Amino acid sequence: MSGRRVGFCLSDKKRRRMNLDAFAHFCAVHGVEVVEIDLTQPLIPQGPFSVIVHKLSDLIVEAEHDSQSQQLLANFQSYVSTHPDTILLDPLPAMSQLLDRFASYRIMSKLHNSLRDWRICSPPYLEVQTDSDLISINQTVTAQDLSFPLICKTRVAHGSVSHEMSLIFSASSLVDVRPPCVLQSFVNHGAVLHKVFVIGDKHFCVERPSLKNFPSGPCDRKTIFFNSHHVSKPESSSDLTALDEQMPCLPPPSSQAVAALVRELRVQLGMALFGVDVIINIHTHTLTVIDINIFPGYEGVPQFFSSLLGHIKSVLDTQMSAGPRGPCAGL
């Protein structure tokens, strides 16, 4: 089984959420050996690995200010660079860009042109980098066609802080903005979020609760601070998700449009394991992309184990037929 050894490098929280022990047993039954990687120990004796599945988001973020994390990340990168036949799911540069909402929102804004035929778009947004930007922010909001209310999200798209968001209803409330962050026009979507979970060439749509509709345009309402985790979990029940009025059900996302979106993002991101948050505009019924997530939780995805193993095996089969290869890729 030496040619079918898959290393997993996950945080304790991620390990528990995906039930790695059960997945490892499932893989063993199907002829694939799963090895948990300990980054605090030398990696070469733990290998070799045909594939490494990882979510090093914590480490990448912590490495910016913590020397121990820097060293662990450097050790991992050194191993990867000296073992070019090991395939990473997913490549570190691809994952790193999704940790920065400035970078991921630039990717989303390009989708409007590449997927125009499918009526897929992303709301206009604004990067707020420093406190000095706040002086001119109101003029920029108007110039770039942003409209109130605005949703404000942290620049860092990982960790508990990244789920802390706010809804801003007027120019006078822009004082509540805490840079660095992203301001995005809020789109009324009937309190329904569609989470698209991608596993290689497969994808799954799961419906979740989301923010209710708000009147368009500026008003004197105070800024609403909320945690997106609390709003959009499967079991969430919040005043923010309760529609104030009776409105007809929106149509589900077009399966063809979602498939086109996933195909485009796989190419743009160079990734195989990610999630996309989409909503349906209540006025135009346009499919609207509002976030991209690294190696999400996959809650509610049927046959998650078999889908993930299926993708890993297809990667292993491609690897074996291709023979020795160059730098790591994730698809």
| Type and span of the H or E element at 306 | helix 304-322
Burial class (CB within 10 angstroms; exposed 0-12, middle 13-18, buried 19+) of 158 = buried
Whether residue 331 lies inside any domain: the answer is no
| Residues 73 and 184 grouped into a single domain | no
Flag whether 170 is in a domain: yes
The pLDDT tens digits for 88-119 are: 999 999 999 999 999 999 999 998 888 988 99
CATH code: domain of residue 279 = 3.30.470.20
Instruction: Give the SS3 label for residue 265.
Output: helix
Please tell me whether residues 86 and 145 are part of one structural domain: no
Total count of domains within the chain: 2
Any domain includes 327: no
Q: From 183, 185, 187, select the one nearest 127 (Cα to Cα).
A: 183
In a domain, 15, yes or no: yes
pTM of the model as a whole: 0.92
Regions of the chain with pLDDT less than 70: 1-3, 236-237, 244-246, 322-331
CATH no. for residue 42? 3.40.50.11370
Is residue 195 a part of any domain in this protein?
Answer: yes
On whether both 158 and 288 belong to a single domain, the answer is yes
Query: Are 65 and 172 contained in the same domain?
Result: no
* 253 closest CA partner among 279, 271, 276: 279
> Per residue in 18-62, pLDDT tens?
999 999 999 999 999 999 999 999 999 998 999 999 999 989 989
Domain of 22, in residue numbers: 2-90+304-322
Cα atoms in the 13 Å half-sphere on the side-chain side of 177: 33
Would 150 be classed as within a structural domain? yes
- Are 143 and 117 within one domain? yes
Lookup: tokens for 243: 């529609």
Domain assignment of residue 131, yes or no: yes
245 and 311 inside one domain: no
Q: How far apart are CA 25 and CA 45, in angstroms?
A: 22
pLDDT of residue 327: 43
Distance from the Cα of residue 179 to its chain's centroid: 21
For residues 69 and 33, membership in a common domain is answered with yes
80 and 114 share a domain? no
Backbone conformation region of residue 270, classed left if phi is above 0, alpha if psi is from -120 to 50, else beta:
left
Co-location of 173 and 255 in the same domain: yes
Which pLDDT score is estimated for 251? 85
- Rounded percentage of the chain residues whose pLDDT exceeds 70: 94
Residue 328 has a pLDDT of 45
Query: Is residue 328 in some structural domain?
Result: no
- Say if residue 86 is in the same domain as residue 162: no
Say if residue 227 is in the same domain as residue 310: no
Cis amide bond preceding 234, omega within 30: no
Helix count and strand count (H, E) for the chain:
10, 14
72 and 116 both lie in a single domain: no
